[in-house]
Structure 1
Amino acid sequence: MRKISVLKWVPPFARGSVKEFRVRWALEEAGLPYEEEVLTPEDQDAASYRARQPFGQVPAYEDGEVSMFESGAIVLHIAEKSDALMPRDEQGRARTMQWTFAALTSIQPAVADVTALDFFYPQEEWAKLRRPGAEEFLTRRLGQLAGHLQGREWLEDRFTAGDLMMVTVLRDLRHRDFVSKVPVLDAYVKRAEARPAFGRALAAHMALYADAAKAEAAE
């Protein structure tokens, strides 16, 4: 049975953005069952887990054939086994891989820069100075992506793992209007979120934090 490591608790702003969600979604698109390995902070620091994931992060993944970490690599591994996530022809495979890496290297760093300023350093003077440049660069990157998506439903001629990765990156901006104010990007994310596999993956992901959410609401 496939197994992915997940976190027992994360703060509210991170729910829906933890990188294990990408793997859940990929498995749901591929129709592959899986189990959760729920981790506490102590579990993350344990030598046995660090032997599998040196940085103590999630997800780590096992399927009986491979043991690996890094969400992008795991999603591509799953996609290699699923027509739902990657075409079988060489050009289709290559373009799926290129968009997966584009999400991680061309878009995610710009997103992460802004979200870190928003969530972790909002009152720091250096962050206030950094913010205009970070937001300008992010806006430019999103404009380039929107230009490619103009007139398209997906990044290529069908949904692939590249779209899955790109949408999970864009969703990290849902606390701001960077995506929602660009109609082509807003529609793109909403199309992806309407996929049944996305709904199943998000429900399973959020179920982890249901008890914590109830406790927070009661405070």
Structure 2
Amino acid sequence: MPDFDFHVSAFAWVPETSRGWVKCLRPRWAFEEAGFAYRTTRLGPGEGGSDGYRAWQPFGMVPAYDDGRVRLFESGAILLRIGALSDRLRGWDDAEEATIASWVFAALNTFETHTSRLTDGLPGAVEAVSRRLEALEAALGDREWLVERFSVADIAMATVLREIGETAVLRRHAGVSAYLARCLARPAFDRALQAQFADFDDSRVA
């Protein structure tokens, strides 16, 4: 693989309750799984609104990604890019690559839209999430991962499911609970999580 200069944006400060949950965790986890060294640009409060940053990430959010050849925003797109570059994370063939992409979109669209409603306590969210968990459990069957081996699809899905990891609705789905536990037990997840915590700097609070 040619040399790449992997670079993502991250927040330099967020409240304590948000630490460990910022979405730059997704590419960090993918980098750790792939064995790719990367660096971060840490944004202080208000810096995401600068014209320079919005040329990279139009909405002023994180993460944004640059590898010296491609610049991207949105964590799902970034995961797919990292996965495509990694022998450890890419699909075995074009068909599996397409399945991985489908699961990334499912995690961030079919699931995350409703898991966020659940955490906000909105009406109907429990039923909507439960239906999706039942479908995911059936799709997983007795497999460890969403495709034959661990991929960025699992990173996307696990980071979404983690947000409801302590809820009764997830605990009622033993297969999905076990799947999430397998994902979060991977050493690369812990390294990514610790790297996110290490980037926070309380001296840069607004």
| TM-score normalised by length of structure 2 | 0.90
Partner residue, 2:18 = 14
Q: How far apart in 1 are the matches of 2:15 and 2:138? A: 34
Q: Which amino acid aligns with 1:184?
A: G
- Aligned AA for 1:19? K
**Residue 33 of structure 1: which of 17, 37, 45 is its match?**
37
Q: 67-76 or 181-190: which moved more?
A: 181-190
Q: Deviations over 1:3-40 (max 9, x none)?
A: 11101222333222211100000111111101111101
Q: Which residue of 2 aligns with 1:106?
A: 110
Task: Count matched residues.
Answer: 199
Structure 2 residue aligned with 1:53:
57
How far apart, CA to CA, are the structure 1 residues paired with 2:102 and 2:195?
29
Q: Residue type matched to 2:164 in 1?
A: L
Query: What's 1:162 paired with?
Result: 153
The answer to whether 1:77 aligns with 2:81 is yes
Q: What is the CA distance between 1:100 and its match in structure 2?
A: 1.0
Unpaired runs of 5+ residues, structure 1, are: 119-129, 213-219
Equivalent residue letter for 1:74: I
1:179 is paired with a residue whose SS is helix
Structure 1 position 211, deviation (Å): 5.4
Q: For the residues of structure 1 that align with 2:92 and 2:173, how far apart are their CA atoms? A: 32
Contact between 2:64 and 2:72, CA under 8 Å: does it hold in 1? yes
Give the drift of 1:192: 0.8
Choose which of 169, 172, 175 in structure 2 pairs with 1:178. Answer: 169
CA distance in 1, matches of 2:41, 2:166: 28
Which residue of structure 2 aligns with residue 135 of structure 1?
A: 126
More displaced 10-residue stretch of structure 1: 83-92 or 52-61? 83-92
Q: Which residue of 2 aligns with 1:199?
A: 190
Deviations 1:46-102 (A, max 9, x none): 111111111100001111111111100011011111121112411111111111111
Distance 2:68 2:134 in 1: 42
- How far apart, in 1, do the equivalents of 2:118 and 2:151 lie? 27
Task: Give unpaired runs (5+ residues) of structure 2.
Answer: none
Residue of 141, 145, 148 corresponding to 2:139: 148
Q: Matched residue of 2:168: which SS?
A: coil
The structural deviation recorded for 1:175 is 4.6
Q: 2:28 aligns with which of 12, 16, 24?
A: 24
TM-score, with length taken from structure 1: 0.85
Which amino acid is the alignment partner of residue 43 of structure 1?
A: E
Aligned partners of 1:14 and 1:114: how far apart in 2? Answer: 17
CA RMSD between the two structures: 1.7
CA separation in 2, counterparts of 1:20 and 1:46?
Answer: 19
Q: Which residue of 2 aligns with 1:93?
A: 97
Work out whether residues 17 and 171 of structure 1, in 8 Å CA contact, stay in contact via their aligned partners in 2. no
Residue 150 of structure 1, CA deviation: 2.8
Secondary structure (helix, strand or coil) at the match of 1:178 reads helix
